Amino acid sequence: MTDESSCIAKKSNGGINVNVFPVYNGKPVVSRKAYRDTVYIKYGASSFPGVSLSKYEIKLVAPVGNNFVNISKLNCGNYYFYIACQDSASGQRLTGGASLITDKIVGNFDIVIPVNGQ
């Protein structure tokens, strides 16, 4: 545990690593060249800030062929992850989101996010 005042959500040289896995109809969504899986991160938030991408501080894109987006070097704190990806069969745009609230200063988290069509 850490002092709550030292838990300021941000990407810096923190010891937290997060892998975000989008899942559609129970199956992993793989990042494709035509539409790469993208995670938008809102620092200090535990609830959905909305679909406007200007509300997020950073975006990270998965390499082609990956079924997850890696976010490294986070500090303890609250984070909201909003993911946009594409169903390879239908071409439909998919989105979903989840929060992470942690007081740990070091750790690895795998977050599975169910995504739905838009």
Q: Model confidence over 21-49: pLDDT tens digits?
A: 999 999 999 999 999 999 999 999 999 99
* Residue found under tokens 């070097």: 73
Q: Which CATH fold topology does 4-117 show? A: Immunoglobulin-like (2.60.40)
Confidence of residue 7 (pLDDT cuts 50, 70, 90): confident
Where do the domains of the chain lie? Answer: 4-117
* 1 three-state secondary structure: coil
The Cα–Cα gap between 27 and 44 comes to 30
Length of the chain equals 118
Confidence (pTM):
0.91
Residue 74 phi/psi, 5° resolution? Answer: -85, 155
List, for residues 69-106, the tens digit of each pLDDT value.
Answer: 999 999 999 999 999 999 988 889 999 999 999 999 99
* Residue found under tokens 């993911």: 83
